[in-house]
Amino acid sequence: DGTDVVVQPDYPDNVVGSVEGPPAEPVDTAFAAAAHVVSATIHQHAHMPAPMECRGIVAHWRGSELTIWAATQAPHEVRAFCSRLLGVPEHRVRVIMRDTGGGFGQKVVPLREDMCLMLAARKVPTALKWIEDRRENLMSAGQARHEHGTACMAFDADGTILGARIDHVQDVGAYPTPWPVGTAAAVGMIFPGPYRIPASTWTTTSVFSNTVGRVAYRGPWQFESVAREMLLDVAARRMGVDSVELRRRNLLRGDELPYTNPNGMPYSHMSPLDVFEQALGLIGYEAFRREQLDARASGRYLGIGTCSYVEPTASGMGYYGTEGATIRIEPSGAVNVYVAGGSTGNSLETAAVQLAADALGVPIEDVNTIQGDTALTPFGGGTGGSRSGSMIAGAIAETAATLRDRIVAIAAHQLEAAPDDIEVAHGRASVRGTPTAGLSIGEIAEIAYSRTHKLPPGVPAGLEASGRYKAAAASMWANATHVCTCEVDVTTGQVTLLRYVVSEDCGPMINPSIVEGQIDGGTVQGIGGALYEQLAYDDEGNPVTTTFLDYLIPTITEVPMIEHGHVETPGPGPGGYKGVGEGGAIGAPPAVVNAVADALSPFGIEITCLPATPAAIVALLDARSAATAESDA
């Protein structure tokens, strides 16, 4: 609002750009024939990724070579960026990423402060360090989610969706990162979600504002789920049908896949209806509805909300489309796995070690991972876009297969057996059916490195291999349903979450604890966006939410134990693994807000703005009470 204030001189109307989806004519036809057309304008306020560890960088020149220690999600991207910025060949820039306390899109690309330090480091005789504090992070590290959209759906008389459209507007701040305009298009493209929708169209517009720039926060396209799922609940109430039954009629079944949504997104290897039914069973939907009626009779207001969504993971586009791995079995038999990205709390090191141990048939305690160092590791896209698990799995699988074949060849030659008769397990290669006839991996490594005269013809010395995996599809599609129950105090507006269930299909799980940890973390962030988190500015444009005293995030006292269900539909890549990193943050906001709206449905209230703070809820109740009093007068 307020185009009299021009943020960037080259954009006098403050519009960065607009993108449009498919032609509107099929949607217009569907709307004209519909028994019901429902629309709502949904608002979401800006909030921050707020990682546990803020940003930081150390840069040190030694002669003509620069070493950077960075809190980043993509060390190879930082090296490439620094090389371009300074005009220094990439081989003279080394970027080291140690364990980093969260990224969530805020640490994908170098920002202003990183650039300044890279430039200034040349001017000082020693290392130069910048570490961001929390106040700086909340003011300037990058916001997300400040957007609104008018969403519309057309239904026939029995609740079948005939068409959908969304007109989306997002605030990218004054100096956005490169990602937001691209991810804004995904809001429109994925707006049909996991539903059977014959016709859809969309527009999205990005605008500048005098606020901190936008970053690609966890699930940056999540407004498509916020708008769609909140609209479906609004539609169910206006049409007088149960919101669960409305979704059940329209969710895609497994036998309908592969399926291309009306915006051209090719869905496959998913289970939308299955995870939906599983989540409802875990929460006990029918029993809760009975409990809800009993509670209302005693003056308590309980609600239940759902969100079903699809999650594009492990993008096969651009430099995200491949991932490398190097595996070296040392002369001792120890295994070192080299992968590009480092851990940002996603347990990448655990997954890499587990994958390599399984693929090579060695004990997990014999495997170590080296990560996040551009001087040692192969090029890779880093952690982001829910790509790490499936992409690294592919790279490790291809590389380990090469080494395993070499191990089998050496063992078969030494044991005078056919390669097909060699089994590798528990750190030993042995003849099938004769476990005592075997060699340890250490003994095989000794032959490969030190007794090369014993190698079979055609087998090279050493036990080291590198591989590069190419994504098996443009996206690996995960999907899930969130179901949340809550109680709302209609006097204070306080929301208490009672139970929270997530049923997820991310394919076979490399490690269930890691999967559920990723879901839990994203869900808690989504709960924050639904109920607490909001960047605020005073009338002069100064940020006023610059500490955790005034920028509220959920704590363990506000979040219930998250319950999990899993459906494992294998994807097209190695192991069938799909991503899972962003789904929790996508599904939680609409599930929570829908639960709050359901609790308040006896008052005829619709919630169309996040976060649903106590003050906002009380204001809605007061406005409804005043309107009722006026109509009665």
- pLDDT tens for each residue of 453-499: 999 999 999 999 999 999 999 999 999 999 999 999 999 999 999 99
Q: How far apart, in whole angstroms, are the C-alpha atoms of residue 227 and residue 145?
A: 12
Burial pattern 148-164, b for ≥16 Cβ within 10 A else e, equals bbbbbbbbeeebbbbbb
Task: Examine residue 82 and state whether it is found in any structural domain, yes or no.
Answer: yes
Residue 353 has pLDDT above 60, yes or no: yes
Shared domain for 285 and 400, answered yes or no, is no
- pLDDT tens for each residue of 45-65: 999 999 999 999 999 999 999
- pLDDT tens for each residue of 200-243: 999 999 999 999 999 999 999 999 999 999 999 999 999 999 99
* Average pLDDT, integer, range 98-123: 93
- pLDDT tens for each residue of 579-629: 999 999 999 999 999 999 999 999 999 999 999 999 999 999 999 999 888
Give one DSSP letter per residue of 73-86, joined into a string: S-HHHHHHHHHHHH
Q: Which of 106, 140, 174 is a domain's end point?
A: 140
Residue 316 has pLDDT above 90, yes or no: no
Peptide bond into 258 cis (omega under 30): yes
* Average pLDDT, integer, range 194-199: 99
Q: Which of 420, 441, 470 is a domain's end point?
A: 470
Lowest mean pLDDT among 171-185, 296-310, 367-381, 421-435: 171-185
pLDDT at 632: 80
Shared domain for 345 and 456, answered yes or no, is yes
Name the percent of the chain lying above pLDDT 70. Answer: 100
Distances in Å between the Cα of 301 and the Cα atoms of 171, 334, 500, 621 are 35, 60, 17, 13
Cα 296 from chain centre? 37
Angle made by CA atoms 439, 444, 448, in degrees to the nearest 5: 160
Shared domain for 126 and 162, answered yes or no, is no
CATH code assigned at 25: 3.30.365.10
Peptide bond into 611 cis (omega under 30): yes
Domain count, the chain: 3
Secondary structure class of 181 (helix, strand, coil): helix
Residue 124 has pLDDT above 90, yes or no: yes
Shared domain for 163 and 273, answered yes or no, is yes
Shared domain for 347 and 429, answered yes or no, is yes
Shared domain for 349 and 302, answered yes or no, is no
Task: Examine residue 5 and state whether it is found in any structural domain, yes or no.
Answer: no
Residues near 290 by beta carbon (within 8 Å), at least 6 away in sequence:
none
Task: Examine residue 76 and state whether it is found in any structural domain, yes or no.
Answer: yes
Shared domain for 24 and 157, answered yes or no, is yes
More confident residue, 95 or 180: 95
Nearest to 73 by CA among 221, 215, 186: 215
Q: Which of 140, 166, 186 is a domain's end point?
A: 140
pTM (2 d.p.): 0.96
Q: How far apart, in whole angstroms, are the C-alpha atoms of residue 367 and residue 342?
A: 16
pLDDT at 3: 53
When pLDDT is cut at 50, 70 and 90, the band that residue 28 belongs to is very high
Residue 1 has pLDDT above 70, yes or no: no
Shared domain for 270 and 344, answered yes or no, is no
Give one DSSP letter per residue of 521-568, joined into a string: HHHHHHHHHHHT----B-TTS-B---STTTS----TTTSPPEEEEE--
When pLDDT is cut at 50, 70 and 90, the band that residue 389 belongs to is confident
pLDDT at 139: 95
Q: How far apart, in whole angstroms, are the C-alpha atoms of residue 481 and residue 591?
A: 9
267: its two tokens? 């869905």
Name the percent of the chain lying above pLDDT 90. Answer: 91
When pLDDT is cut at 50, 70 and 90, the band that residue 341 belongs to is confident
Shared domain for 184 and 239, answered yes or no, is yes
Task: Examine residue 7 and state whether it is found in any structural domain, yes or no.
Answer: no
Task: Examine residue 542 and state whether it is found in any structural domain, yes or no.
Answer: yes
- Total count of residues recorded for the chain: 633
pLDDT at 602: 97
When the pLDDT of each residue in the chain is averaged and rounded to a whole number, the result is 96
Domain residue limits at 108: 56-140
Task: Examine residue 3 and state whether it is found in any structural domain, yes or no.
Answer: no
Shared domain for 366 and 447, answered yes or no, is yes
Shared domain for 34 and 127, answered yes or no, is no
Nearest to 267 by CA among 277, 247, 287, 253: 253
Shared domain for 282 and 156, answered yes or no, is yes
Distances in Å between the Cα of 615 and the Cα atoms of 151, 163, 268, 493, 607 are 25, 35, 43, 6, 13
Give one DSSP letter per residue of 275-330, joined into a string: HHHHHHHHHTHHHHHHHHHHHHHTT-EEEEEEEEEEEEES--SGGGGEEEEEEEE-
pLDDT at 588: 99
Task: Examine residue 631 and state whether it is found in any structural domain, yes or no.
Answer: no
Residue 43 has pLDDT above 80, yes or no: yes
Task: Examine residue 417 and state whether it is found in any structural domain, yes or no.
Answer: yes
